[in-house]
Chains A and B, each alone.
Chain A
Amino acid sequence: QKEVEQNSGPLSVPEGAIASLNCTYSDRGSQSFFWYRQYSGKSPELIMSIYSNGDKEDGRFTAQLNKASQYVSLLIRDSQPSDSATYLCAVIPGGYQKVTFGTGTKLQVIP
């Protein structure tokens, strides 16, 4: 079982819709969770961090964490073509300092 799992996609959504990106992780002791956006040929950019169960909102982005289900998601409201990128879920397993990245979900927002 991979430590951090994401559907590779592509996930296609029409412009203006809500994009929902999902991620599961295997280490129940994980405490830190992140979402990064990576455009083709560029380095990852931190979008959100979340540490507690529940929702965390920042502009059009909402991160959701459910530690009991070992599940973290990212919702993007009012999706724009500029949101088209690969979204990386990242987790710090319990007792470690380094981040484990998922393989990423490619999002395509169709104008």
Chain B
Amino acid sequence: GAVVSQHPSRVICKSGTSVKIECRSLDFQATTMFWYRQFPKKSLMLMATSNEGSKATYEQGVEKDKFLINHASLTLSTLTVTSAHPEDSSFYICSARDRAGGNEQYFGPGTRLTVT
């Protein structure tokens, strides 16, 4: 149980385009989902916390107009990187907390974004 999927696993896009990443909880309902990014050999950096049916809470320094988060259902959250730049290239990982469980967060497999 507690499986989280992400799609796509890998994406290459051109500067100026937008990319959407989907995060799904497959076998549980997630009232809260989290979006992280991670640069090579660096720590996880929380970008935003997403609660179903409400606006995401962004961490300091994360541009909400650039990283659009939608959490429309209890099993799906999306992150859209708008007007992508090469410096947005990173490993984006979502996690989800089981509505019926404890405080554990289960991570998706991640999406590697490369902006050319």
Is A34 interfacial (CB 8 A cutoff)? yes
Given contacts A98-B49, A103-B43, A104-B43, contact A43 B93 (CB under 8 A): yes
Number of A positions contacting B (CB below 8 A)? 21
Within 8 A of B (CB), among A41-74: 41-46, 49, 51
Within 8 A of B (CB), among A19-33: 32
Point out which of A41, A92, A98 has the most chain B C-beta atoms below 10 A from its C-beta: A98
Instruction: Say yes or no: A34 contacts B104, CB within 8 Å.
Output: yes
Render B9-32 as a binary contact track against A, CB cut-off 8 A, 1 for contact: 000000000000000000000001
Residues of B within 8 A of A88 (CB): 44
Interface residues on B, range: 10 to 19
A103 to chain B, nearest CB (A): 5
Residues of A within 8 A of B67 (CB): none
| Closest chain A residue, CB of each to CB of B44 | A101
Render A79-100 as a binary contact track against B, CB cut-off 8 A, 1 for contact: 0000000001010100001110
Instruction: Say yes or no: B104 contacts A44, CB within 8 Å.
Output: no
Identify which of B43, B46, B93, B105 contacts A46 (C-beta below 8 A). Answer: B105
Instruction: Say yes or no: A43 contacts B107, CB within 8 Å.
Output: yes
B112 to chain A, nearest CB (A): 8
Residues of B within 8 A of A46 (CB): 2, 104-107
Instruction: Say yes or no: A92 contacts B103, CB within 8 Å.
Output: yes
Identify which of A41, A45, A98, A103 contacts B107 (C-beta below 8 A). Answer: A45
Residues of A within 8 A of B8 (CB): none
Within 8 A of A (CB), among B69-111: 91, 93, 102-110
Given contacts A88-B44, A97-B49, A98-B49, contact A49 B104 (CB under 8 A): yes
Q: List 22 A-B contacts (CB under 8 A).
A: A32-B102, A36-B107, A41-B91, A43-B93, A43-B107, A43-B108, A43-B110, A44-B93, A44-B107, A46-B104, A46-B105, A90-B105, A92-B103, A98-B34, A98-B46, A98-B49, A99-B34, A99-B105, A101-B44, A102-B43, A103-B43, A104-B43
